[in-house]
Amino acid sequence: MLNYLEDFLLHIKINNYSEETLYNYQRDLKTFEDFLKNEVKTSFNKITKKTIEQYKAYLVSRDRKTTAGQKPKKNLSAGSINRNLSSVRRYLKYLIKMDYKTPIAPEGIELLRTEKKHPRVSELEEIIKLIEFPSKLEKDTKIALRNRAMLETLFSTGMRISELINLKISQIDKTGRVFILGKGKKERFVYLTQRAQKHIKKYMDFRGSSASPFLFIPYRGKNVHDKNKKISTNYLEEKVKRYREILGFNIPISPHSIRHAFATYLAESGANPVAIQILLGHESLDTTTRYVHASDRYAEKMHYKYHPLKN
């Protein structure tokens, strides 16, 4: 139903966007297409600003049905809804770029207002306990060594979870420098601490030879012997959640918040925001500066250091 949709997706693909980005556009635009077909029963050429408002309401309130045996899914967050809307907006911009007719202008799609939450970062002691916890909790030695090495790598480098899952042995040189091909296929280097290198070596020594090019390999599940089989992001997220719950930490910790903590503690130690931006692979410095100011402790330190009437 969406005009030139395949052409748009091909445009995304040939312009070096990641497979994940392509998948997100496909999924979001399929959702929009289903909405037009099944909910408002109208063609793409006849949509109006009112249709977009109806689509917003649909995304906010739709029942996310699950199949038997699955856990009930939560309603879409404001961030997820805005991603859906942004995909439609990007699709409309493509049509205009190619001189195709569009029923509404991209600017006619307004995103939802989102609440700006004060970032919460776990204490360094909690982060350390969590990344060390696989060694104490996991009874299977190979899983304990692998999960410990994964978490050490995350906190050492600040890489994204998708970059960690896709990390290949060939990307790491002898000094611990890691070559990353990140979002939008942007290249950068990140760096392993000696501590992280030590735990990777312990894991690799125990793992031994393997046909898989990936650093962290699965030991269970379907097609486990496939050399291209990777650990899923869900697995690591669930493991981090379980470790946190057993340790009894009240601030939620996820693989992404470990990356957040990496940047925050570098900033607290005086690291230049531009250097942090390069390490994180952020396109905009504005994104990075959120981490510089993320810690209450850092703000308190700056207050006492620079207040004119501190004595």
Q: pLDDT, tens digit, for every residue of 169-189?
A: 999 999 999 999 877 678 899
Specify the CATH superfamily of domain 124-306.
Intergrase catalytic core (1.10.443.10)
Position 267 confidence tier, pLDDT thresholds 50, 70, 90: confident
Phi, psi values for residue 237, rounded to 5°: -60, -40
Q: The tokens of 156 are what?
A: 């050492």
C-alpha span between 281 and 154 (Å, rounded):
14
CA-closest candidate to residue 257, choices 166, 149, 123: 123
Residue 72 clears pLDDT 50, i.e. is over it:
no
Q: What is the pLDDT of residue 100?
A: 94
pLDDT in tens, 123-176: 889 999 999 999 999 999 999 999 999 999 999 999 999 999 999 999 999 999
Maximal CA-CA distance, the chain: 70
In contact, 52 and 109? CB cutoff 8 Å: yes
Residue 289's Cβ-count burial label (10 Å; 0-12, 13-18, 19+) is middle
- For 38-42, 223-227, 267-271, which range has the lowest pLDDT when averaged over its residues? 223-227
pTM: 0.63
C-alpha span between 246 and 236 (Å, rounded):
15
Residue 64 clears pLDDT 60, i.e. is over it:
no
Q: Identify the CATH assignment for 5-108 out of 1.10.150.130, 1.20.1250.20, 3.40.50.1100, 1.10.10.10.
A: 1.10.150.130
Residue 69 clears pLDDT 70, i.e. is over it:
no
Residue 111 DSSP class: P
The residues of the chain that CATH labels 1.10.443.10 are 124-306
The residues of the chain that CATH labels 1.10.150.130 are 5-108
